[in-house]
């Protein structure tokens, strides 16, 4: 699949709207994780709009592909995308983290809203994905299972047990995506628990490894298309992304991993996103 300039422009504008909603949700709640939600918003958007089989009229369609947000703290990005699809009413977005809301700080399973799995305890999502992929094989269901992991999450030993199991069972219907933004709650991933050489680690476990520039829409889509043509083994896309993408003072820092912006920061962040939006409408194309 190749994107025309007009399609790329539309997608970029949609993603900016999602990022604005992410910031509004977290600002209103005064709680949440803006950095990691902004980094992966484009991946989640492209999965639901360009890659996965879904039914916009029926979030519980039995032939749908499954998405698992293992890095559950990025829930605002997932909710904003599901709202764009019509699964979640937009006004509900701004009940984030409120008592009694369906939209908590980490996803709580709610099939009617398109939320497949409760996540947030890091290290669990890929194991759930392995189970879903095995079940699909047993049911002769040709659905694909997509699991989005944080790179800091790879510190968890349970991830590597699931990686081993995925190869053992030849789960070619399982695709892991790593948000490789290089920063976790307490600092750089390489300072906290070095991951490199990351690609070689996954290859050693028998996975097909694809590396992409996560800020380049065409490259992301091409990476997913390559995955679908690889049989007999699970696949992982290491997507190099930017923590706090598009908001200058949130980028490349752990400060906003789990900290909501104050009013001044929120206003400035929205202004930056709106300036990017204006440039795109003028015909200046950004890669994210």
pLDDT digits (tens, 9 = 90+) for 46-81: 999 999 999 999 999 999 999 999 999 999 999 999
Using DSSP, state whether 199 is helix, strand or coil: helix
| pLDDT of res. 228 | 87
Note the pTM of the prediction, 2 decimals. 0.96
Q: Provide the residue-wise pLDDT of the chain in tens; the chain has 288 residues.
A: 678 899 999 999 999 999 999 999 999 999 999 999 999 999 999 999 999 999 999 999 999 999 999 999 999 999 999 999 999 999 999 999 999 999 999 999 999 999 999 999 999 999 999 999 999 999 999 999 999 999 999 999 999 999 999 999 999 999 999 999 999 999 999 999 999 999 999 999 999 999 999 999 999 999 999 998 999 999 999 999 999 999 999 999 999 999 999 999 999 999 999 999 999 999 876 654
What pairing do the DSSP bridges indicate for beta strands 183-184 and 187-188? antiparallel
Q: Cα separation of 184 and 35, whole Å? A: 10
Q: How far apart are CA 236 and CA 115, in angstroms?
A: 22
- CATH value of 5-281 in 2.40.30.10, 1.10.287.180, 3.40.50.12710, 3.40.50.970: 3.40.50.970
How far separated are the first and last CA of the chain, in Å rounded? 18
In this structure, what is the dihedral angle of CA atoms 237, 242, 245, 246, given to the nearest 10 degrees?
-110
């Amino acid at each position: 699949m190749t994107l025309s300039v007009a399609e790329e422009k539309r997608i970029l504008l949609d993603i900016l709207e999602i990022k604005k909603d992410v910031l509004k949700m977290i600002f209103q709640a005064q709680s949440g994780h803006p950095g990691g939600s902004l980094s992966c918003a484009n991946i989640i958007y492209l999965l639901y709009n360009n890659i996965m089989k879904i039914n916009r009229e029926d979030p519980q369609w039995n032939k749908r592909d499954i998405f698992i947000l293992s890095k559950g703290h990025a829930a605002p990005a997932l909710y904003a995308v599901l709202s764009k699809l019509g699964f979640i009413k937009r006004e509900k977005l701004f009940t984030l983290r409120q008592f009694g809301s369906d939209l908590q700080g980490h996803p709580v399973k709610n099939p009617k809203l398109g939320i497949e799995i409760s996540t947030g305890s890091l290290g669990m999502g890929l194991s759930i994905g392995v189970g879903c992929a095995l079940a699909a094989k047993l049911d002769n269901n040709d659905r694909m299972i997509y699991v989005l992991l944080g790179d800091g999450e790879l510190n968890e030993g349970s991830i590597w047990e699931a990686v081993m199991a995925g190869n053992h069972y030849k789960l070619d219907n399982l695709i892991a995506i790593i948000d490789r933004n290089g920063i976790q709650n307490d600092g750089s991933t390489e300072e906290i628990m070095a991951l490199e050489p990351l690609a070689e680690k996954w290859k050693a476990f028998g996975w097909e490894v694809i590396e992409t520039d996560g800020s380049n829409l065409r490259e992301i889509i091409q990476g997913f298309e390559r995955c679908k043509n690889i049989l007999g083994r699970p696949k992982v896309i290491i997507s190099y992304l930017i923590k706090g993408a598009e908001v200058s003072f949130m980028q490349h820092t752990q400060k906003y991993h789990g900290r909501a912006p104050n009013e001044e920061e929120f206003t400035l962040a929205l202004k930056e996103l709106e300036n990017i939006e204006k440039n795109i409408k003028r015909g200046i194309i950004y890669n994210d």
